[in-house]
Amino acid sequence: MALLSPIKDHHSERRLFVRRVIASAVVAILLLGVVIARLVQLQIVHHELFAEKAQGNRVRIEPVAPIRGLIFDRKGRVIAENLPAYQLELVPEQVSDIDDTLNRLADLDLIAREDIPRFKELSRSGPRFRPVTLKVRLTEEEIANFAIQRPRFPGVDFKPRLVRHYPDGKAVAHAVGYVGALNSDDLLRLDPARYAGTSHTGKTGIESSYESDLHGAAGYRHLITNARGRQIPFDSAKLLDSLPMDEKPAPGSNVYLSIDLDLQLLATRLMENRRGAVVALDPRNGEILALVSAPSFDPNLFAVGMSTAQYAELEGSPDVPLFNRAVRGRYPPGSTIKPMLALAALETGATNLTRKTFCIGYFMLPNSTHRYRDWKPEGHGPVDLHDAIEQSCDVYFYEISQEIGIDSMHDYLVRFGLGNQTGIDIGGEQAGVVPSREWKRDNFRNRDDQRWYHGETVIASIGQGFMLATPLQLAAAAGALATRGEHFRPHLVAAVEDALSGERTLVTPEQLASVEISSSFYWDNIISAMHDVMQGPRGTARAVGFNAPYTMAGKSGTAQVVSIAQDEEYDEEEIEERQRDHALFISFAPLDEPRIAVAVIVENGRSGSTVAAPVAKAIMDQYLGYGDNVVR
């Protein structure tokens, strides 16, 4: 009979239990050792590192935007400033129904209804405790209306801030420019550290070209936050003392322009309800005294934000108010180039001071039946060079154009600054066109189109055809005529001032290559002819300048917008207004010691002498002390 084995082996089970206890104790000791080692690493070895990280978790560094520098005119009058304003904000976590809240705000005309989808997206894209700006600048009436309704809008309130403001609005829009909200392109090109906390940047004009001076440098402050990044209040002096020192933002520099605000406002008033541009400068140093493009726009709309409908209205206007005609508009210069061509003709021997042409009202090239007509159908009779400028005789210049040649025309006009950018200190400037044989070869593909024709030289001699110039270039050319060839780069900024120290850095005028003319007698004769344009017995603009208390010089121009057939009569009353001739005028004064040069273009103004010349005369009157001294 076999022996029965015991049902339970207590000895084996005890040994197994002891081994397990020992193993568990070893594992526990090892794990405890790891914990202790880790604590030693955190608390002793890397104490400074993790203390700094812990501080970073509870302390948030919030950037503080700098105060933007101010912009003044040449007499210290404010052109661009920063005004305290209230902006409307919504905190998403405090609003139970964002859709209903936004719609009710739209009913009160506090926000535009078409902007509601954008605000909803903004409220979802960031932390719910972070405010969403609904409107940058509230009027006093809007603040009062909302204050009454505030209990109905939990989570919506208004907050003070500084907003860019342009007291003279439209009058300075194209010269000074405007600031606008930062976009994705701005964020890519700007220094993130310098622009931390900044919501706006210069977009056009001086606001853009002097952005680095006007903006300043951002500062920062330390805030105590919880784990989710929400700011929490703290009263402990010890905790406050443990925070690093805040860094104050550095304010932007102030910019002083060479613009005379009186002149700017007058030019704006004179161009009211017109399309065109006015540029006035000091021919002695290139300082811009007035730069106006009409029609204009209110730059304050961009500073505070505008609705989609408002921007669409501006952008879609047939008068293109956003387009800076003064530096970007390119127009046929018409007869305003005749004084410059006259100097070219004298220098090249194409004419002389005594040569006369009998003007019968038209000119024909040899072996051609095409008539190049004068502005005066019956003709001017016998005219010399002085008469041709004073009376603006086209036929005289048609005739000598063949002897000057298009390439010599190009060379001399370029010396006066036409055909190229002037290099003014605001962006967006367009170059003009002064054609030549080489220019035509480079700009046309068809072989026949690349050929230069004699008829093209004829019409180029009166500033038509391919020739184009901006109002700024014409003003610079008038300045070079005034100084008898001395030429300065036009500029708007006269000085930059440190906002803290008050130290000013003056902008040094940049002199360009002079227009070299072999005889001072040539200058005398051409400037005398320009003087007679305004104050001579037969000048085209004598009605404007004849009784002026100071001497002046000028040249009118009329640029044809649409061509007409050889046998057609040009009746301005019957054609559409926007197809009528442009009116141009260049001038400078006083004659002996010029202090101001002016270029005026009035689109579809018909006559330079009767429409553009009075504008130039009024501006010179004002600057020289003979105006009404109207400021605002």
Confidence of residue 48 (pLDDT cuts 50, 70, 90): confident
Of 595, 617, 609, nearest in space to 545 by CA: 617
Q: Tell me, what's the pLDDT at 238?
A: 47
User: 105 and 153 in contact (C-beta within 8 Å)?
Assistant: yes
Confidence of residue 590 (pLDDT cuts 50, 70, 90): very high
Q: Indicate the range of 120-134, 222-236, 416-430 predicted with least confidence.
A: 222-236
| Mean predicted confidence (pLDDT) in 356-364 | 93
Q: pLDDT tens for residues 553-587? A: 999 999 887 665 555 555 566 678 777 888 999 99
Among residues of the chain, what percentage have pLDDT more than 90?
Answer: 57
90-99, 186-195, 298-307, 616-625 — which one is most confidently predicted on average? 616-625
Q: Tell me, what's the pLDDT at 223?
A: 66
Q: Tell me, what's the pLDDT at 144?
A: 86
Q: Tell me, what's the pLDDT at 620?
A: 96
Confidence of residue 630 (pLDDT cuts 50, 70, 90): very low
pLDDT tops 90 at residue 86: no
Q: Tell me, what's the pLDDT at 125?
A: 67
> Which residue among 123, 335, 408, 461 is the active-site one?
335
More confident residue, 17 or 229: 17
Angle (CA) 503-507-513 rounded to 5° is 165
Q: pLDDT tens for residues 601-618? A: 999 888 888 999 999 999
Is 242 an active-site residue? no
| Mean predicted confidence (pLDDT) in 145-161 | 85
Bond prior to 233 in cis (omega within 30° of 0): no
Return the beta strands (E) in 336-449 as ranges: 357-359, 362-363, 372-373, 381-383
Contacts of 500 (CB under 8 A, 6+ apart): 250, 251
For the chain, the domains span: 261-623
Q: Tell me, what's the pLDDT at 411?
A: 96
Reported residue count of the chain is 632
Contacts of 87 (CB under 8 A, 6+ apart): 133, 134, 135, 136, 137, 138, 158, 159, 161
pTM: 0.83
| Mean predicted confidence (pLDDT) in 115-121 | 82
| Mean predicted confidence (pLDDT) in 44-48 | 76
If you average pLDDT over every residue of the chain, what do you get? 87
User: 374 and 383 in contact (C-beta within 8 Å)?
Assistant: no
DSSP, collapsed to helix, strand or coil, labels residue 39 as helix
Per-residue burial over 172-201, b if 16 or more Cβ lie within 10 Å, else e, is bbbbbbbbbeeeeebeeebeeeebbebebb
pLDDT tops 90 at residue 454: yes
Q: Tell me, what's the pLDDT at 62?
A: 66
Of 261, 321, 337, nearest in space to 585 by CA: 337
Q: Tell me, what's the pLDDT at 535?
A: 94
The rounded distance, in Å, linking the Cα atoms of 57 and 62 is 13
Q: To which residue do tokens 């005294």 refer?
A: 289
pLDDT tops 60 at residue 97: yes
pLDDT tops 50 at residue 398: yes
Q: Tell me, what's the pLDDT at 488?
A: 95
Fold of 261-623: Beta-lactamase (3.40.710)
The rounded distance, in Å, linking the Cα atoms of 161 and 305 is 14
pLDDT tops 80 at residue 505: yes
Among residues of the chain, what percentage have pLDDT more than 70?
Answer: 89
pLDDT tops 50 at residue 403: yes
CB neighbour class for 284 (10 Å; exposed up to 12, middle 13-18, buried from 19): middle
| Mean predicted confidence (pLDDT) in 291-308 | 89
User: 554 and 545 in contact (C-beta within 8 Å)?
Assistant: yes
CB neighbour class for 64 (10 Å; exposed up to 12, middle 13-18, buried from 19): middle
Q: Indicate the range of 164-173, 187-196, 481-490, 580-589 predicted with least confidence.
A: 187-196
More confident residue, 55 or 68: 68
Q: pLDDT tens for residues 121-137? A: 877 766 676 677 788 77
Q: pLDDT tens for residues 240-257? A: 455 455 678 889 999 999
Q: Indicate the range of 122-131, 156-165, 619-628 predicted with least confidence.
A: 122-131
Q: Tell me, what's the pLDDT at 306?
A: 78
pLDDT tops 60 at residue 85: yes
DSSP, collapsed to helix, strand or coil, labels residue 289 as strand
Q: pLDDT tens for residues 361-390? A: 999 999 888 999 998 999 999 999 999 999
**DSSP-assigned letters across all residues of 211-238:** HHHHH-B-EEEEEEB-TTS-B-----HH
Q: Indicate the range of 444-448, 452-456, 578-582 predicted with least confidence.
A: 578-582
